[in-house]
Structure 1
Amino acid sequence: MITFNQRTTAKIIGVSDSTLENWRREGIGPNFKKIDSGRRGRVLYLKTDIALWLSQTIETL
């Protein structure tokens, strides 16, 4: 299982860290896993979830 943090995921999909964070709050963007609770909990994205989201996004354009 390959995971990426928020910064790396943002670079992969071509958006800023803050855009990815906003998308997460709005329920859009790739699926993510939050490790630990609270504001300081780490957010990780699975490589497969990023690839799936990108393929679905490209199809809708």
Structure 2
Amino acid sequence: MNTEIPEAQEWMSPKTAAARYEISTITLERWRRENIGPAYSKLGSAANASIRYRRKDFDAWVKANLVTPSA
């Protein structure tokens, strides 16, 4: 089993992710509640959990949701 801790810069808080992708933290919260957004990690108890997104997961989700208009 691999127990290495990923580098800190790989993980983003909801605030950092919102700024990076130009969306609101409220949108991220709604996506988590509706299970429609990118993968995330929940650290701690349910009431006080810290949410973190991996950049590669967020980027993969954005890429998977790319819409190419037809010509």
**TM band (smaller chain):** 0.7 to 0.9
Report the aligned-residue RMSD. Answer: 1.6
Structure 1 residue 10 corresponds to structure 2 residue 15 = no
Give 5+ residue unaligned stretches, structure 2: 1-5
Structure 1 residue 38 corresponds to structure 2 residue 46 = yes
SS in 2 for 1:29: coil
Aligned-partner Cα distance in 2 for 1:55–1:17 = 20
Give 5+ residue unaligned stretches, structure 1: none
Question: What TM-score comes out, normalization by structure 2 length?
Answer: 0.76
Query: Highest Rg: 1 or 2?
Result: 2
Question: What TM-score comes out, normalization by structure 1 length?
Answer: 0.87
What percent of counterpart residues are identical?
A: 31
Identify which of structures 1 and 2 has the higher relative contact order when contacts are C-alpha pairs closer than 8 Å and 6+ apart: 1
Report runs of 4+ in structure 1 exceeding 3 Å deviation.
none
